[in-house]
Structure 1
Amino acid sequence: MLKCDFEFKYKQFNLHANFEMHGQVLAIVGASGSGKSTVLKNIVGLLTPQNGEISFKDKILFNHQEDINIPMHKRYMALIFQKPLLFPHLNVLQNLKYAEKRVSDIHGKLSFANVIDLLELHPLLNRRIDHLSGGEAQRVSIGRALLSSPNLLLLDEPLTGLDTRLKKQILPFLRDIKKHTNLPMVYVTHHLDELDYLDAEVIEVVNGRVYA
């Protein structure tokens, strides 16, 4: 499904990623600063490797030798960061509709009603963004990502900074996404207990090298 064999260098940091994703959920674990987020950013197209190849479902996204580098907006992937990136001047409903209207009917995979039900967002729709808790904001961020109809969902330590209570709110929603959709996910964390919910393949990043 997802195949990566690339090198990325920045200043003194060298990353070598060589792995394949076969199941629906792949977890990338490792200590802070080991290169986990850098792997995601190269996959989604925020960063460009200096060498190698990245492909998803047999489509080449990046190949250094053949000078292929598909732009980020044409990779149809969604990256969710540690801190929810929502439009503060729009309420929850408007944030969600913004993602939905940018997707054609043909490309759309999940309906608005499906996403609202899946993440239990009904009570939040008219709320302002600054009136959301950390867990609520992250649910909205995940909902907006789903409504963009990505082919691959990447989550970069989405529970970092949330207390135990909020983590216990979010993890079941991620498990439901896995259960009720066919959407592949790459989940980055350094908290192994989070993976109990997701039944994921696990690979580890150690000092810039990926170990399957």
Structure 2
Amino acid sequence: MTLNVSIRHQFSGFNLDIAFSAGSGVTALFGRSGAGKSTIAQAISGAFAPTEGHIALNEEVLFSSEQRVNRPAHRRGIGYVFQQDLLFPHFSVQGNLEYAQRYGRSQTGTTNLSEILDILGIDHLFHRRPAGLSGGERQRVAIARALLSNPSLLVMDEPLSALDDPRKAEILPYIERLRDHSQVPILYISHSVSEIARLADQVVAIDNGRVIKTGSATDVFADPNIVPQLGLQSAGALLTATIEKHEDDGLSKLQSASGPIYLPRLDAEIGQSVRVRVLAQDVMLSTVQPENISALNVIQGRVSAIKLGRGPGAIVSIESAGNTILARVTRRSVQALNLEIGSSCFAIIKSVSVAPNQIGRG
């Protein structure tokens, strides 16, 4: 699947001028509130017609100002999941899902009901009505309903923003399973760094109506120039690792290209690939091999970039065996350690500093 988007539109005080492509897996549109993400989603789905541009899905033109094409929303083959679930309250879960199958794009599509029920873990909810479901359960049903319309693309526009943190933690593993097992590509729109870091294969970072960075989730989050959009508290790089062992003292040992990583015990099987977001503010640096310290994770690498902030802070990028680690330190520390591009140093990460919501399936 390939989605190609190139659109322009002038609003009062805001110009949208965007171009990007999305393939299989999860492509995330990321940006702060007001960056233009939902407007782009509306243009793709057919709810909004930009002044000019071109939108094509699998080489099928959905919108073209030049060709004067603007296919209606119901003929675009796109499933849509909103912030609110919008389930039919007078239908049971079964009724909501059967409605999607009955009036979807094709009644002979390849989407399998039992497979979707299993992936999203909602088979036991089949005979209940939306009023009797939790927020996370309702949103999972909404996702299933969108998939059962047999779409070529699933657009998820801030699907977790209406949920509290426990409900988000409940639903994220199911969306990970959907990413890993469904053949339907997903365009995931969010301003949440933690959601994007866990779910996205590719990221399109947007600011003020324009694309400022595209690439794999690992590459985008490792770029120190993107820190202003992420926010200092949320800046951090992604490490890919494999669970090697669950220790008797409550820790899990992970193996990465940069060496072992110890984290509080993970509820996952040995051999499972995971992605770990290490916040820049939780990383300390040393130019010598640290000894007799409590932190269990020490990763050796070389400085690849130093970005000075407007205040006393700086972001230092450390390259280690293909991984990138970001460290948020002071300018004074950069000077005291005599850090420069190519300097050898050690990144020190406390195991307990990595929260559960910073760890997802690889």
TM > 0.5 fold call: yes
| Shorter-normalised TM range | over 0.9
Cα distance in 2 for residues equivalent to 1:2 and 1:112: 26
The answer on whether the counterparts of 2:36 and 2:209 sit within 8 Å (CA) in structure 1 is: yes
Cα distance in 2 for residues equivalent to 1:155 and 1:48: 19
Match of 2:92 in 1: 91
Shift of 1:20: 1.1
The answer on whether the counterparts of 2:9 and 2:16 sit within 8 Å (CA) in structure 1 is: yes
Cα distance in 2 for residues equivalent to 1:105 and 1:87: 20
**Alignment partner of 1:63 is 2:59:** no
Identity rate, percent: 39
Query: Greater Rg, structure 1 or structure 2?
Result: 2
Shift of 1:46: 0.6
Cα distance in 1 for residues equivalent to 2:211 and 2:43: 14
Secondary structure of 1:87's match? coil
Secondary structure of 1:95's match? helix
Cα distance in 2 for residues equivalent to 1:181 and 1:116: 12
Alignment of 1:1-212 (within 5 A): 1-103=2-104, 104-106=106-108, 108-211=109-212, 212=214
Alpha-carbon RMSD: 1.4
The answer on whether the counterparts of 1:81 and 1:156 sit within 8 Å (CA) in structure 2 is: yes
**How many residue pairs end up in the alignment?**
211
5+ residue gaps, structure 2:
215-362
Amino acid paired to 1:189:
S
Q: Deviations over 1:62-87 (max 9, x none)?
A: 11011111111111001111111111
Q: When the two structures are superposed, what TM-score results if normalisation uses the length of structure 2?
A: 0.56
Shift of 1:194: 1.1
Higher helix share: 1
Cα distance in 2 for residues equivalent to 1:179 and 1:90: 30
The answer on whether the counterparts of 1:100 and 1:112 sit within 8 Å (CA) in structure 2 is: no
The answer on whether the counterparts of 2:47 and 2:73 sit within 8 Å (CA) in structure 1 is: yes
Higher strand share: 2
Amino acid paired to 1:95:
N
Secondary structure of 2:179's match? helix
Cα distance in 2 for residues equivalent to 1:89 and 1:68: 37
